[in-house]
Structures are given as C-alpha cells and as structure tokens.
Amino acid sequence: MRIWKKLCTSAIAVAFATVAVSGLSSAAAGAEAKLRATLTLPVNHSINIPFKQFMKEVNDTGKGIVQIQLLGGPEVMPVKEQMSAISRGIVDLSYGATAYYRGQIPEVTAFNGSNKTAMQLRKDGATAFMDEIFQERLKVKLLGYYGSGYAFHIYLRKPAPRTADGGINLKGIKVRGSASYASQFEALGITRIEVHGAEIYSALERGLLEGVGWVTMGVTDLGWEQFLKYRIFPTFKQGDLGIVINLDKWNSLSKEQQAFLEKMTIKYEAIIHDHFKDASVKENATLKKAGMTDIRLSGEGARHYLSAFNDTVWPPMEKKVGKERTAKLKSLFWD
C-alpha cells in the first residue's frame, strides 16, 4: 500500500506538470493536443477493443491536431479514482462504464434505463443534456455514449429454483453487481456484492460469488466461464459506456481540435454500436461451446423479472434529482 501511494504521488506530480505544460502549449496556434487516457476495465478486455480502434483512427488521421496516449486501466489507476483524476485534470480522457460515477452523477442510470440506440440519443438531444449534467456536477464533458448494441444477463454458477409462474427465485443469492443494479437486485431479493470488473475472476475463484450481473459479451475474456455455467433470459437494460474529458482541457482546445474530436466521437457511436452487436453474437457462440446453459423465463415470471429492471430505474432517480429532471431524462432516454 505504501508503494502504491508513493507511485500515485509521483504519477500525480508528473501528471500535473504535464497538464500545465500541455495547457500552455495547446494555447499556441496550431499546436498538437496530447490527451492522456485511462480505461475502467483491464486494457485487453474486449469491451475496450472499439475504443482502441477509435484511438488509432484519431491518432492516424489527427496528426498535428490531436493525439491520444493510453496510460492503461485499473492496473495503473483504481477505477474509483479515475473520475476524480479526470475532474482534477490529472488525466485528460477516460473510456468505460459511467455507472462507476453514479454516486456523483445519479442521472447516469438513465443510460441503463434507455431503450434507444446511441445514434437516437444524440439525435434526440439526450446525449447533449447528459453532457450538461456531467459539466454541472463534475466539470467533466461527456464526449460520447457507447453503451447501445448490447444488453445484460445474470450469470449463475448453479441453476436457481424455478417458480410456478415461469419465473425464478433468486432470493438471497450472492451476485456481483455495481451500484446501477442496486434497486433491481433489491426487487428480486438478490444479495448484491460490489466487485470491480478486474477483480471478478478472483472473487469467483474464492467462492465469494454465486453469480455475476454482466453484459452479453466479455465473459470469456477473463475466463469466467470456468465458474459461470447458467445465464438467465430475457436480457435486460443496456450499457452505460462513455468517453469523458476534463472540461478545462476541452476548453483549452482550438475549435479545429474540438470539431475533430466531436466528428470522430459521433462517427464511432454507430461503429461501436454495430461492433457490440456482432461481439454479442460471437460471445454467444463461444459460451455455447463452453457449455453455457440458458434458463429461459416465461409468462408472468418473465414479466416480473423484467419489471424489476425496467420499473426501478426512474423512482430512485427521482428521489435524488427531483421530479422535473427525472421526467426530462425519461422523455429523452425512453421511447
């Protein structure tokens, strides 16, 4: 722990110096902007593949305009510290699950509660409104949303008891879930265990988890299929991936640099949506080969299961941000 603190102190000092220098240099006419980026999942996780493609195209076509330097994921900076680092300007850019910022920005749950694609959300003004909220709450700009194209399962080690109405009894089962699952898991009686993505394998290996709430892809990247043998249908909600940038850094960029980043971000909202759809199909085939068994709910049981997710997004948000803002978010994010 002492070593980590020393490394953090040194890294922060260097980062501040870099930010200060780059801030001065970017003010000069025609200077190339260099952005330091982190990820909320380990670098080699499949969820990061499209961001790496985005970064490569930015760097290839943006020479002399903008360049992105990838620092790494949780191995170089704990996830809980990443938003603070972005907000304070220690890091310029971050890609990953915005659910990790739910404590500071309760409104991000609207991404999970949405039934619109990333392209629809931008067209309807939802992305722009969420950007205003990010700037208001943390002085961070939301560049883009990349959470559509995939959905979520609950994956289990063992089959849970079925109910007479076609549902499933998950009461008391210990399932990994971030804060964005809290209301939904409570409605189903699940015991929610909060474990960061990078630590799930270890938690499964030690028998601390009986299941994992996760997306329709990426399970096999880190070997979780060794432990998780069942998944529940229907799928629920959609993702909350996004790219955020320090607001002061953004404001220090020239109009050309801002326009270039916005153009690339919008282009990749469609590319990443399609990528995740394809990745989910491929992951399904891989999981089937690994022996994954599907538990398919039906009738009233399936409706109850889905309502636990679909009907518990907005009431908790209303308690935190008020009726007016919640109503506006729902009108923009839900069709």
Give pLDDT tens digits for 109-165. 999 999 999 999 999 999 999 999 999 999 999 999 999 999 999 999 999 999 999
- CA dihedral (256, 257, 258, 262) in degrees, to 10, reads 100
Q: What is the DSSP letter of 155?
A: E
* pLDDT recorded at residue 30: 64
> CB count, 10 Å around CB of 68?
21
For the chain, which residues score pLDDT lower than 50? 1-29
> CB count, 10 Å around CB of 123?
11
Give the residue among 173, 178, 172, 169 at the shortest CA–CA distance from 156: 173
Q: CB of 168 within 8 A of CB of 301?
A: yes
* pLDDT recorded at residue 270: 96
∠ CA 223-224-230 to the nearest 5 degrees?
135
Which residues in the chain are classed under CATH 3.40.190.170? 2-148+239-278, 152-238+292-329
* pLDDT recorded at residue 101: 85
Give the residue among 100, 106, 105, 92 at the shortest CA–CA distance from 38: 92
Q: CB of 177 within 8 A of CB of 199?
A: no
Q: What is the DSSP letter of 166?
A: S
Any residues with CB less than 8 A from the CB of 258 and at least 6 apart, and which? 250
Q: How far apart are CA 100 and CA 87, in angstroms?
A: 14
Q: What is the DSSP letter of 238?
A: -
* pLDDT recorded at residue 11: 45
Q: What is the DSSP letter of 80?
A: H
> What fold does the segment set 2-148+239-278 form as a domain?
D-Maltodextrin-Binding Protein; domain 2 (3.40.190)
Is this model's pTM higher than 0.75 or not?
Answer: yes
Chain centre to alpha carbon of residue 68: 20
Place of tokens 């803002």: 325
Burial of 1 (0-12, 13-18, 19+ CB in 10 A): exposed
> What pLDDT digit, counting tens, does each position of 247-289 carry?
999 999 999 999 999 999 999 999 999 999 999 999 999 999 9
* pLDDT recorded at residue 27: 40
Using alpha carbons, list the distances in angstroms from residue 327 to 127, 317, 318, 323, 332: 15, 10, 8, 6, 9
> What fold does the segment set 152-238+292-329 form as a domain?
D-Maltodextrin-Binding Protein; domain 2 (3.40.190)
Q: CB of 168 within 8 A of CB of 160?
A: yes
Q: How far apart are CA 248 and CA 150, in angstroms?
A: 32
> CB count, 10 Å around CB of 184?
26
The C-alpha R_g of the chain, in whole angstroms, comes to: 20
Q: How far apart are CA 223 and CA 206, in angstroms?
A: 14
- As beta bridge partners, residue 244 has 94, 142
